[in-house]
Chains A and B, each alone.
Chain A
Amino acid sequence: GAVVSQHPSRVICKSGTSVKIECRSLDFQATTMFWYRQFPKQSLMLMATSNEGSKATYEQGVEKDKFLINHASLTLSTLTVTSAHPEDSSFYICSAESGTDTQYFGPGTRLTVL
């Protein structure tokens, strides 16, 4: 149980385009989902916390207009990287809280912006 999926697993796009990443909790309802960014050989950096049906809470330094988060249902949250640039290239990971004080993580999405 407690499986989280992400789609796509890998995406390559041109600079200036927008990319949407989906995060789904497959076998549980997640009232809260989290979006992280991970740079090579570094820890996870929390970008934002999203609660179903309300606006996401962004961490300091994360641009709200650039990283749009939508948590439309108890099983789906999306992260849209708008007008992507090469510096946005990174590994993006979502997680979902199952109501048991434990986060379960998706497999991650490797974004490469050319």
Chain B
Amino acid sequence: AQSVAQPEDQVNVAEGNPLTVKCTYSVSGNPYLFWYVQYPNRGLQFLLKYITGDNLVKGSYGFEAEFNKSQTSFHLKKPSALVSDSALYFCAVSPPSGGSYIPTFGRGTSLIVHP
């Protein structure tokens, strides 16, 4: 069975500094990996995904993530954080599938960017 770990409940960073939100996964085969962001009382917004190809994936709002197969990680990064980036971030993994898939979500990491 697949699983996702987000080891940090909360990440604090100063505005303008780089940020990293960690994610590690466990799945059979080559994974599909996703990052979503959730603002208060809102649904999840898709940020980026890794399916295959270049290990560095660029997504919305200046975020990027690097797939590291040896470390089974897919950390989310941004070179310069904004206060508006403060939100809840979810990593998700699903096994490769030609049809519909059901991803497993991490428990979420709250990102707080201080002015």
| Residues of A participating in the B interface, judged by any CB pair closer than 8 Å | 2, 4, 6, 31-32, 34, 41-44, 46, 49, 51, 91, 93, 95, 97, 101-108, 110
Contacts and interface: CB of A to CB of B under 8 A. Distances in A.
A44 B103 CA distance: 11
A102 B34 contact: yes
Nearest to A106: B43
Residue of B32, B34, B100, B101 with most partner-chain A CB within 10 A:
B100
Residue of B45, B51, B101, B106 with most partner-chain A CB within 10 A:
B101
Interface of B: 32, 34, 36, 41-46, 49, 51, 90, 94, 97, 100-103, 105-108
Contact of A101 (B32, B44, B90): B32
Contact of A43 (B34, B100, B107): B107
Secondary structure at the A interface, as helix, strand, loop or mixed, is: strand
Contact of A42 (B94, B101, B107): B107
A49 B102 contact: yes
Given A31-B100, A49-B102, A105 B43 contact: yes
A49 B106 CA distance: 19
Contacts of B106: 43
